A and B are shown apart, each in its own frame.
Chain A
Amino acid sequence: AQTVTQSQPEMSVQEAETVTLSCTYDTSESDYYLFWYKQPPSRQMILVIRQEAYKQQNATENRFSVNFQKAAKSFSLKISDSQLGDAAMYFCAYRSLDMNRDDKIIFGKGTRLHILP
């Protein structure tokens, strides 16, 4: 079974600085998707970034980028120029491409990110 591990329950970063959130996963599959979701205090889950495992190029969305290391099964999120609005719980997530798995997403336990003014 697939698992997603986020080893940092909480992190803090100074505003305007860069922070990296760690995520590792375990799977025997070769094709899958990886995601980072953000859950601010409103509790609305927001998709931050998505990575297809077959793509070697790391995904980037404005100030958010990932470091995808497929062999190491690592998928870290880098937030550049941190802003107060980035304060949230961040969830790393895995989705199989196996059609029999019903599109289920497996979430990590989350990392709470604090932005220090």
Chain B
Amino acid sequence: GAVVSQHPSRVICKSGTSVKIECRSLDFQATTMFWYRQFPKQSLMLMATSNEGSKATYEQGVEKDKFLINHASLTLSTLTVTSAHPEDSSFYICSASGSSGSRETQYFGPGTRLLVL
């Protein structure tokens, strides 16, 4: 099946710093990528949807200036948490759906655990 990678897998940073998380589709072209946030023992909460070459669409309540999303190519999307604070600590997951074959299915990255001190 389609493979999606995320980097880093975990990151610890100081409050006030910015953190960039990369999401890559390794064997297919991802026309659409999604960013989720997951709190412990809860479901995935969609933060934003990004289509290659256009601005991301953010879900209600998600600060677009706080969570910057770039989808510059068909294989790479980045999420930058700007001026991170302890309340931003969470598990962030990306997913991708592609133009080749499985457009109807989202394939998920392994997630990034962010801890802000």
Contacts and interface: CB of A to CB of B under 8 A. Distances in A.
Interface band, chain A: 20 to 34
Contacts, number: 53
B57 A45 contact: no
A45 B95 CA distance: 9
Contact of B110 (A43, A107, A110): A43
B49 A43 contact: no
Interface string A39-75: 0001111110010000000000000000000000000
- Closest 9 pairs between A and B when the two form their complex, measured CB to CB: A45-B108, A44-B110, A107-B43, A109-B43, A102-B49, A43-B111, A103-B97, A103-B32, A107-B44
A25 interface: no
A104 B34 contact: yes
Contacts of A104: 34, 46, 49
A47 B1 contact: yes
A13 interface: no
A47 B44 contact: no
Interface of B: 1, 32, 34, 38, 42-44, 46, 49, 51, 57, 91, 93, 95, 97, 103-108, 110-111
A44 B110 CA distance: 5
Given A35-B105, A43-B91, A50-B105, A102 B43 contact: no
Nearest to A45: B108
A97 B51 CA distance: 17
